[in-house]
Amino acid sequence: MDPPGEAALVERARRGDSGAFEALVVSYQALAFRTAFVIAGDAADAEEAAQDAFVKAHRALGRFRSGRPFRPWLLTIVANEARNRRRTRGRRTALALRAVVPGAPAEDPEAAALASEQRERLLTAVERLRDDDRDVLACRYFLELSEEETAAALGIRRGTVKSRTHRALERLQKELR
Amino acid sequence: MTDLELELRNLAPHLDIPEAPPLAGAVLTRLDRHRRRRRVLLVAVAAGVTALAVALAVPSSRAALLRFFHLRGAAVTAVDRLPRLSPGRPLGVPIPLGSASFRLLLPNGPRPERVYAGDGGYWLRYRGLLLFEFENTNGSEILKKAALGTTDVEYVDVDGEPGIWIGGRHALYLPGGPPRAAGHALIWQHGRLTLRLEAAVGREQALAIARSVR
């Protein structure tokens, strides 16, 4: 569900109000960058992909159907840009774990080390999956996109999101054995 | 939600994802630049119309110049008859993809089958598609084309950069060679580079390929 007032912003942006489009960019830049980063795995590529996506979205506003949610529509463009960059590079840069989570409460050092090891093992297993399995898991669980948004981002049907997620989880389980 | 799904969700805050940079300024600057380019393009079209009016006003040139299109490093003239055209000639010296003097832009999809250095730029040969890229440093026109006045020639917009679509057979003049027969082609600017795509595809497909180059 789009935030209240967003449909009006989109409508104003369509009519050429650059302030309205700026407000949309500010609202969605974090999501766009994060999505592009999770797909492309590189900060410079992600920034470029997100920027290009907003420019393309602006040019395509005329084709945007009034009343439709803006967020999945934008995600389609962002994810497409990010995948193009990943394809051009010919490889994906694997995601990594933060060294320390800022503001995390102090834990038992032994338990913290174990948890960190488990996270490392899980992330390594995710990164070993093929791109389409890895992407669907990243969208659903790392970016917490809905099935509809995941479908939009990956350019697949909602039913395929369900089946692909199921398949990817099974493959991940095997990787972890 | 299964344990594995929960573990994945709990992993998210631990991922090393950088803070999103502010994008609005850069995006708005690019949109503004795009608007300015469109204005320049409109002026160029107006200049072309004036050239046409001048050409039609002078009886001796009525048979030759019908329309004129211009891009950085490339010009297309619409004429009433094409010169004698030679078949294709070698594209140049084969080189590895990474050894061009600038980073070659590639369309989305498979990598080129061969890359050649020649004609002041680089030819990238794909199955059913030929891409020519060059950097126009001295302002001269490397690509010159003549198309029949009846051929579909028009200015197009390739993601904010100006381009020219030629939807038919035409003559391609490259430095130092005879005019070569060419088919459907799209020429467009991309940053410092000028690109030319030739393939047996329609305008929309050519534009989609052009928009995918990175």
Model-level ipTM above the cut of 0.90: no
Residues from chain B contacting residue A119 (CB–CB below 8 Å): 11, 14
Q: What is the CATH architecture assignment of A109-176?
A: Orthogonal Bundle (1.10)
Interface mutation vs chain A, best among B23, B29, B32, B36, most A CBs within 10 Å: B23
A147: burial class by Cβ within 10 Å (0-12, 13-18, 19+)?
middle
**8 Å CB contact of A88 and B9:** no
What is the pLDDT confidence band of residue B61, given thresholds at 50, 70 and 90? very low
CATH of domain A6-89: 1.10.1740.10
Q: What ranges do the domains of chain A cover?
A: 6-89, 109-176
Contact (CB, 8 A) for A26 and A50 = no
Tally of domains in chain B: 1
> In angstroms, rounded to a whole number, what is the distance separating the alpha carbons of residues B130 and B124?
6
* Token output for B110: 């498979």
pLDDT along chain A (177 residues), means of 10: 73 87 92 93 90 92 84 94 86 76 59 82 93 94 94 93 96 93
The token pair that represents A60 in the structure block: 């395509």
- Cα maximum dimension of chain A: 59
In chain B, the residue whose alpha carbon lies closest to the alpha carbon of A144 is B9
**pLDDT above 80: residue B197:** yes
**How confident is the model over B70-81, as a mean pLDDT?**
78
How far is it, in rounded angstroms, from Cα B131 to Cα B109? 14
Q: What is the pLDDT of residue B25?
A: 87
The predicted structure's pLDDT at residue A49: 93
**DSSP letters of B47-71?**
HHHHHHHHHHHSGGGTTTEEEEEEE
Which residue range(s) make up the domain with B127? 3-212
CATH topology agreement for domains A6-89 and A109-176: no
pLDDT in tens, A7-51: 888 988 888 888 899 999 999 999 999 999 999 888 888 999 999
